[in-house]
Structure 1
Amino acid sequence: MWPLDPSRKEVLRFAVSCRVLTLMLQVLTRFLSSSTPIVYWFPAYLLQDREPLLRSLETEPWKPLVEDSPPGQKIPRNSIMELLYNWKICSPVTQYVLGYFLTYWLLGLLLHCNFLPWT
Protein backbone atom coordinates (compact mmCIF):
# COMPACT_ATOMS: atom_id res chain seq x y z
CA MET A 1 0.00 0.00 0.00
CA TRP A 2 1.32 3.42 -0.84
CA PRO A 3 1.73 6.06 1.85
CA LEU A 4 -1.00 8.65 1.82
CA ASP A 5 0.08 12.25 1.79
CA PRO A 6 -2.00 14.81 3.76
CA SER A 7 -4.02 15.96 0.74
CA ARG A 8 -5.07 12.42 -0.16
CA LYS A 9 -6.03 11.75 3.44
CA GLU A 10 -8.23 14.85 3.49
CA VAL A 11 -9.90 13.93 0.20
CA LEU A 12 -10.50 10.39 1.39
CA ARG A 13 -11.85 11.61 4.74
CA PHE A 14 -14.15 14.07 2.96
CA ALA A 15 -15.40 11.41 0.51
CA VAL A 16 -16.11 8.91 3.29
CA SER A 17 -17.87 11.50 5.46
CA CYS A 18 -20.04 12.63 2.50
CA ARG A 19 -20.99 9.05 1.72
CA VAL A 20 -21.82 8.28 5.36
CA LEU A 21 -23.91 11.45 5.61
CA THR A 22 -25.78 10.64 2.40
CA LEU A 23 -26.36 7.05 3.48
CA MET A 24 -27.62 8.11 6.90
CA LEU A 25 -30.00 10.68 5.40
CA GLN A 26 -31.42 8.16 2.95
CA VAL A 27 -31.86 5.47 5.59
CA LEU A 28 -33.40 7.89 8.09
CA THR A 29 -35.80 9.24 5.48
CA ARG A 30 -36.90 5.75 4.52
CA PHE A 31 -37.37 4.69 8.14
CA LEU A 32 -39.34 7.80 9.01
CA SER A 33 -41.52 7.58 5.92
CA SER A 34 -42.31 3.91 6.33
CA SER A 35 -42.72 3.74 10.09
CA THR A 36 -44.25 7.10 10.99
CA PRO A 37 -47.84 7.52 9.85
CA ILE A 38 -47.92 11.10 11.17
CA VAL A 39 -46.15 12.18 7.97
CA TYR A 40 -49.26 11.04 6.07
CA TRP A 41 -51.90 11.76 8.72
CA PHE A 42 -51.28 15.50 8.74
CA PRO A 43 -51.79 16.02 4.99
CA ALA A 44 -54.83 13.72 5.14
CA TYR A 45 -56.20 15.80 8.01
CA LEU A 46 -55.65 18.97 6.01
CA LEU A 47 -57.40 17.51 2.98
CA GLN A 48 -60.34 16.11 4.93
CA ASP A 49 -60.78 19.29 6.92
CA ARG A 50 -60.40 21.94 4.21
CA GLU A 51 -61.48 20.41 0.90
CA PRO A 52 -65.19 20.60 0.10
CA LEU A 53 -64.73 18.49 -3.04
CA LEU A 54 -63.84 15.46 -0.88
CA ARG A 55 -67.05 15.81 1.11
CA SER A 56 -69.07 15.79 -2.11
CA LEU A 57 -67.24 12.67 -3.30
CA GLU A 58 -68.12 10.83 -0.09
CA THR A 59 -71.84 11.26 -0.70
CA GLU A 60 -71.81 10.04 -4.31
CA PRO A 61 -72.36 6.35 -5.00
CA TRP A 62 -69.62 4.07 -6.22
CA LYS A 63 -69.00 3.64 -9.93
CA PRO A 64 -69.06 0.28 -11.66
CA LEU A 65 -65.71 -1.26 -12.58
CA VAL A 66 -66.49 -1.33 -16.31
CA GLU A 67 -69.66 -1.15 -18.33
CA ASP A 68 -69.89 -4.91 -18.86
CA SER A 69 -68.98 -5.89 -15.29
CA PRO A 70 -71.23 -8.27 -13.39
CA PRO A 71 -73.91 -6.59 -11.31
CA GLY A 72 -72.82 -5.81 -7.77
CA GLN A 73 -69.12 -5.54 -8.62
CA LYS A 74 -68.21 -1.99 -7.68
CA ILE A 75 -65.04 -0.10 -6.78
CA PRO A 76 -64.71 3.11 -4.79
CA ARG A 77 -63.91 6.30 -6.64
CA ASN A 78 -60.29 7.39 -6.37
CA SER A 79 -60.45 10.65 -4.43
CA ILE A 80 -56.90 11.71 -5.25
CA MET A 81 -57.46 11.37 -8.98
CA GLU A 82 -60.67 13.38 -8.68
CA LEU A 83 -58.72 16.12 -6.89
CA LEU A 84 -56.03 16.09 -9.58
CA TYR A 85 -58.62 16.29 -12.37
CA ASN A 86 -60.27 19.26 -10.62
CA TRP A 87 -56.99 21.00 -9.70
CA LYS A 88 -58.19 24.52 -10.52
CA ILE A 89 -61.25 24.44 -8.29
CA CYS A 90 -59.48 22.88 -5.29
CA SER A 91 -58.61 24.98 -2.27
CA PRO A 92 -55.06 26.38 -2.02
CA VAL A 93 -54.24 24.02 0.86
CA THR A 94 -55.17 21.04 -1.31
CA GLN A 95 -53.10 22.39 -4.18
CA TYR A 96 -50.08 22.78 -1.86
CA VAL A 97 -50.42 19.27 -0.42
CA LEU A 98 -50.89 17.63 -3.83
CA GLY A 99 -48.12 19.78 -5.29
CA TYR A 100 -45.72 18.69 -2.55
CA PHE A 101 -46.36 14.99 -3.07
CA LEU A 102 -46.25 15.28 -6.88
CA THR A 103 -42.99 17.24 -6.73
CA TYR A 104 -41.47 14.71 -4.33
CA TRP A 105 -42.51 11.88 -6.62
CA LEU A 106 -41.19 13.55 -9.78
CA LEU A 107 -37.87 14.57 -8.21
CA GLY A 108 -37.41 11.08 -6.83
CA LEU A 109 -38.14 9.57 -10.21
CA LEU A 110 -35.71 11.85 -12.05
CA LEU A 111 -32.90 11.75 -9.50
CA HIS A 112 -33.07 8.02 -8.77
CA CYS A 113 -32.98 7.13 -12.47
CA ASN A 114 -29.82 9.24 -12.82
CA PHE A 115 -28.14 7.44 -9.88
CA LEU A 116 -28.34 10.48 -7.63
CA PRO A 117 -29.10 10.07 -3.91
CA TRP A 118 -32.83 10.30 -3.33
CA THR A 119 -35.23 8.39 -1.16
Structure 2
Amino acid sequence: MWPLDPSRKEVLRFAISCRVLTLMLQVLTRFLGSSTPVVYWFPAYLLQDQEPLLRSAETVSWKLLVEDSPSGQKVPRNFILGLLYNWKTCSPVTRYILGYFLTYWLLGLLLHCNFLPWT
Protein backbone atom coordinates (compact mmCIF):
# COMPACT_ATOMS: atom_id res chain seq x y z
CA MET A 1 0.00 0.00 0.00
CA TRP A 2 1.19 3.52 -0.71
CA PRO A 3 2.67 5.44 2.21
CA LEU A 4 0.57 8.12 3.85
CA ASP A 5 2.08 11.52 4.42
CA PRO A 6 1.58 13.10 7.88
CA SER A 7 -1.23 15.38 6.78
CA ARG A 8 -3.29 12.48 5.41
CA LYS A 9 -2.70 10.54 8.60
CA GLU A 10 -4.00 13.47 10.66
CA VAL A 11 -7.06 13.87 8.47
CA LEU A 12 -7.80 10.13 8.68
CA ARG A 13 -7.30 10.11 12.46
CA PHE A 14 -9.56 13.17 12.83
CA ALA A 15 -12.28 11.63 10.63
CA ILE A 16 -12.24 8.36 12.56
CA SER A 17 -12.32 10.10 15.95
CA CYS A 18 -15.24 12.32 14.83
CA ARG A 19 -17.20 9.28 13.66
CA VAL A 20 -16.55 7.37 16.88
CA LEU A 21 -17.55 10.40 18.97
CA THR A 22 -20.73 10.88 16.93
CA LEU A 23 -21.60 7.19 17.20
CA MET A 24 -21.04 7.18 20.97
CA LEU A 25 -23.17 10.30 21.44
CA GLN A 26 -26.02 8.81 19.41
CA VAL A 27 -25.94 5.54 21.33
CA LEU A 28 -25.71 7.26 24.71
CA THR A 29 -28.56 9.62 23.87
CA ARG A 30 -30.78 6.74 22.76
CA PHE A 31 -29.98 4.72 25.88
CA LEU A 32 -30.65 7.66 28.20
CA GLY A 33 -33.82 8.69 26.38
CA SER A 34 -35.32 5.21 26.35
CA SER A 35 -34.23 3.88 29.73
CA THR A 36 -34.22 6.93 32.01
CA PRO A 37 -37.65 8.36 32.78
CA VAL A 38 -36.12 11.22 34.81
CA VAL A 39 -35.48 13.04 31.53
CA TYR A 40 -39.25 13.20 31.04
CA TRP A 41 -40.34 13.38 34.68
CA PHE A 42 -38.63 16.71 35.35
CA PRO A 43 -40.32 18.62 32.48
CA ALA A 44 -43.64 17.00 33.42
CA TYR A 45 -43.14 18.11 37.03
CA LEU A 46 -42.36 21.65 35.89
CA LEU A 47 -45.42 21.69 33.63
CA GLN A 48 -47.72 20.52 36.41
CA ASP A 49 -46.21 22.95 38.88
CA GLN A 50 -45.98 26.05 36.69
CA GLU A 51 -48.84 25.84 34.19
CA PRO A 52 -52.22 27.20 35.32
CA LEU A 53 -53.98 25.66 32.29
CA LEU A 54 -53.05 22.17 33.47
CA ARG A 55 -54.10 22.90 37.05
CA SER A 56 -57.52 24.05 35.92
CA ALA A 57 -57.82 21.01 33.62
CA GLU A 58 -57.54 18.69 36.62
CA THR A 59 -60.95 19.75 37.86
CA VAL A 60 -62.68 19.63 34.46
CA SER A 61 -62.87 16.48 32.40
CA TRP A 62 -61.44 17.11 28.94
CA LYS A 63 -63.54 14.27 27.56
CA LEU A 64 -66.69 16.15 28.53
CA LEU A 65 -65.35 19.30 26.91
CA VAL A 66 -64.76 17.46 23.64
CA GLU A 67 -68.22 15.89 23.60
CA ASP A 68 -70.01 19.10 24.60
CA SER A 69 -68.04 21.50 22.41
CA PRO A 70 -70.03 23.38 19.79
CA SER A 71 -69.42 22.52 16.16
CA GLY A 72 -66.55 24.39 14.59
CA GLN A 73 -64.70 24.84 17.90
CA LYS A 74 -61.71 22.58 18.28
CA VAL A 75 -61.10 21.36 21.82
CA PRO A 76 -58.37 18.70 22.02
CA ARG A 77 -58.39 15.58 24.18
CA ASN A 78 -54.63 15.71 24.62
CA PHE A 79 -53.24 18.10 27.25
CA ILE A 80 -50.15 18.89 25.18
CA LEU A 81 -52.27 19.86 22.19
CA GLY A 82 -54.32 22.03 24.52
CA LEU A 83 -51.14 23.82 25.58
CA LEU A 84 -50.04 24.25 21.97
CA TYR A 85 -53.42 25.69 20.95
CA ASN A 86 -53.19 28.16 23.86
CA TRP A 87 -49.52 29.04 23.28
CA LYS A 88 -49.92 32.77 23.98
CA THR A 89 -51.57 32.23 27.36
CA CYS A 90 -49.00 29.68 28.58
CA SER A 91 -46.37 30.55 31.17
CA PRO A 92 -42.78 31.15 30.00
CA VAL A 93 -41.60 27.86 31.55
CA THR A 94 -44.20 25.98 29.53
CA ARG A 95 -43.17 27.79 26.37
CA TYR A 96 -39.52 26.88 26.91
CA ILE A 97 -40.29 23.21 27.57
CA LEU A 98 -42.64 22.87 24.61
CA GLY A 99 -40.23 24.81 22.40
CA TYR A 100 -37.35 22.54 23.38
CA PHE A 101 -39.23 19.32 22.63
CA LEU A 102 -40.73 20.67 19.40
CA THR A 103 -37.31 21.88 18.21
CA TYR A 104 -35.71 18.54 19.11
CA TRP A 105 -38.45 16.70 17.23
CA LEU A 106 -38.25 18.93 14.16
CA LEU A 107 -34.45 18.87 13.97
CA GLY A 108 -34.45 15.11 14.41
CA LEU A 109 -37.00 14.74 11.64
CA LEU A 110 -35.07 16.95 9.21
CA LEU A 111 -31.57 15.69 9.98
CA HIS A 112 -32.35 11.99 10.26
CA CYS A 113 -34.20 11.96 6.93
CA ASN A 114 -31.09 13.45 5.30
CA PHE A 115 -28.82 10.74 6.80
CA LEU A 116 -27.14 13.19 9.15
CA PRO A 117 -26.13 12.08 12.66
CA TRP A 118 -29.07 12.70 14.93
CA THR A 119 -30.71 10.58 17.57
Alignment TM-score, normalising by the size of structure 2: 0.84
* DSSP-derived class of the 1:29 partner: helix
Match of 2:32 in 1: 32
Query: Aligned-pair distance for 1:97?
Result: 0.6
Match of 1:49 in 2: 49
Match of 1:98 in 2: 98
Alignment of 1:104-119 (within 5 A): 104-119=104-119
* DSSP-derived class of the 2:3 partner: coil
Runs of 4+ in structure 1 over 3 Å off: none
Alignment TM-score, normalising by the size of structure 1: 0.84
CA displacement 1:69-92 (0-9 Å, x = unmatched): xxxxxxx92100000000000111
Query: Aligned-pair distance for 1:62?
Result: 4.2
Match of 1:15 in 2: 15
Match of 1:73 in 2: none
* Unaligned residue ranges in structure 1 (runs of 5+): 68-75
CA displacement 1:78-118 (0-9 Å, x = unmatched): 10000000000011111111011001111111111121111
Match of 1:79 in 2: 79
Give the distance between the partners of 1:61 and 1:38, measured in 2 at CA.
27
Amino acid at match of 2:50: R
Query: Aligned-pair distance for 1:59?
Result: 1.7
CA displacement 1:13-70 (0-9 Å, x = unmatched): 1110010011011111111111111111110000000111002222222427x97xxx
Amino acid at match of 1:32: L
Amino acid at match of 1:89: T
Give the distance between the partners of 1:12 and 1:105, measured in 2 at CA.
32
* DSSP-derived class of the 1:63 partner: helix
* DSSP-derived class of the 1:99 partner: helix
